[in-house]
């Protein structure tokens, strides 16, 4: 159902961006409304790694969501899925997958990367009727996430590593 893609050129080399997107502990620095990340499984490389992301709702409540990395190609591609079975998300989500692609820019300045964020969400039951609303909200989230990446990887104010959430 809702598949949303956003792209942006970021003034940083793919390796710099990879170090951020492939480490779940960096999510509070660039992913919107992320308060913190917990329970990151270590070892075995990026693929298969699991973590819990604690997000803050507009009214200030914390929501926990579990994820698992499904694919990783160093410096190029990172994909993860939300684990929905047995969670409150199961009522309206069948699946949710996020992909991050990093492509070096040859036409621009040295050290630029085209970052593509893609979200593919499969809605369950009557939730499918709200696909257009989910698509719009997801687009905003992906755009904010790209802005957060640009800010910290591109040498913006948060490049030194403060733990503020983007968005």
Judge whether 53 lies within some domain. no
Instruction: Note the pLDDT of residue 153.
Output: 86
What is the reported pLDDT for 161? 41
Residue 158 domain-assigned (yes or no): no
Cα angle value 78/80/85 (rounded, 5°): 175
Q: Residue 121 falls within a domain, yes or no?
A: yes
In a domain, 37, yes or no: no
**Could you tell me the CATH number of the domain that includes residue 108?**
3.30.530.20
In a domain, 108, yes or no: yes
Q: Print pLDDT tens along the chain (167 aa).
A: 468 999 999 999 999 999 999 999 999 999 999 999 998 987 666 778 999 999 998 898 998 999 999 999 999 999 999 998 888 777 777 889 999 999 988 765 568 999 999 999 887 764 545 555 667 788 898 999 999 999 998 765 444 343 333 33
Give the burial string for 88-107 (b: 16+ CB within 10 Å, else e): ebeebbbbbbbbbbbeebee
Residue 44 belongs to a domain: no
Domain count within the chain? 1
Which domain does 93 fall in, by range? 3-32+73-153
Contact 66, 51 (CB under 8 A): yes
In a domain, 80, yes or no: yes
Stated pTM of the model: 0.81
Domain-embedded: residue 159 = no
Between CA 141 and CA 129 the distance in angstroms is: 20
């Amino acid at each position: 159902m809702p598949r949303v893609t956003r792209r942006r050129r970021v003034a940083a080399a793919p390796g710099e961006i990879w170090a951020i997107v492939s480490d779940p502990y960096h999510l509070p620095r660039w992913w919107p409304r992320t308060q913190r990340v917990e329970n990151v499984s270590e070892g075995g490389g990026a693929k298969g790694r699991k973590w819990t992301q604690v997000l803050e709702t507009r009214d200030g409540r914390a929501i926990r969501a579990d994820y698992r990395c499904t694919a990783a190609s160093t410096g190029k591609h990172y994909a993860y899925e939300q684990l929905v079975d047995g969670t409150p998300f199961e009522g309206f989500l069948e699946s949710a997958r996020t992909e991050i692609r990093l492509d070096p820019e040859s036409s621009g300045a040295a050290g630029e990367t085209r970052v593509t964020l893609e979200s593919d969400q499969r809605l369950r039951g009557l939730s499918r009727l709200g696909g257009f609303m989910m698509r719009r909200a997801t687009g905003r989230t992906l755009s904010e996430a790209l802005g957060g990446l640009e800010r910290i990887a591109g040498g913006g104010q948060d490049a030194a590593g403060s733990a503020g959430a983007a968005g």
